[in-house]
Each structure stands twice: as C-alpha cells, then as structure tokens.
Amino acid sequence: MILDREAAWPGCDGTLTDFGRGFLGEIKKHVKRRVDTLMHFEEQLSRDDFLVFVAASQLGTRDDHFGMPRWPVCVKAAMGRLRGEDEEFFRKRGDLMERIGPAPDAAASDLETTEKALLNAPWELGAEVLDWFAWNPILRVARPSP
C-alpha cells in the first residue's frame, strides 16, 4: 500500500505519483530499507521490546491514540462512520475504504460492543479487527482550528 502510485495519501488529495515525481526509485529503496530494518529488529527482539522500539519514536507526538486525550473523539467519529453518518468522510476517503474492505463482522455486527472495546480495551477486539482499524483512516479526525 505504501508504494501504490495511485492511492491518495491520508490527509491530502495527492498520490505517490504526484509527490514523488522523479524520485520514485529512491522512495522505493527508502521504503524497502525501513521495512527491512523493522523486520530485522522484530526477529532480534522480544515482542514487548520490539513494540517499545517501534513506539518510542512516536512517544509524545500524538494525542489521538488509545489512552490519549483525543481518543474518545476518534472512536465517536469511527462509530458514526460505521453507521454511515459521515457523508463527507466517504466522499473523501471512499476509494481507500473500498480497497481496505468492509469492517470485519466482529466489529460491524455489534457497534456498541466495538465502541466500548475501543474506548476501554481495544486488544479485546482481536487481531483481525485491530488490523482493519490500523490500515483504515476511519479513526482519524481533523484537528480543530486554532
């Protein structure tokens, strides 16, 4: 997905082709190095140490992940989108949502339970559901204007 030349990048309307013009070969090499580096550390470290290693660079930079102040706003937005209540989101992100595919049945069949789990213990949703949310912009909300 990272190297898909026609995918709209999250947060903008551009594609890799738009932004990478003249540098696509270098971008591909950079992505491969980053993925290979992560794979190396994933093999060398225990699971917990690897997760700390990956997360360390993001510590203090985001307030919209589980346990952070904006997380409830993100979850509320996602639930509204799963109910089909955010037409603007689907207008902007519909193509990406189609490629990622529909929400797993475990998440879509009982949105109330999904919402409670996202707010309190996302790991209880299981790997398939968390993987879907991880690749999906559905939990992202716009930053309020100052």
Q: How confident is the model over 3-55, as pLDDT tens digits?
A: 787 877 765 667 877 777 777 788 888 888 888 888 888 899 898 888 887 77
The alpha carbon of residue 26 and the mean position of all alpha carbons in its chain are separated, in whole angstroms, by 24
131/72 same-domain check: yes
- Where a domain ends, among 61, 77, 108? 61
By residue range, what is the domain housing residue 5? 1-61
Indicate if the pLDDT at residue 85 is higher than 60.
yes
pTM of the model: 0.57
- For 102-134, how does the pLDDT look when each residue is reduced to its tens digit (9 = 90+)? 889 999 999 999 999 999 999 899 888 888 888
39/103 same-domain check: no
Query: 18-31 burial, b for 16+ CB within 10 Å, e for fewer?
Result: eebeeeeeeeeeee
Q: DSSP label at 35?
A: H
| Residue 141 tokens, joined | 């909300």
55/116 same-domain check: no
The domain tally of the chain equals 2
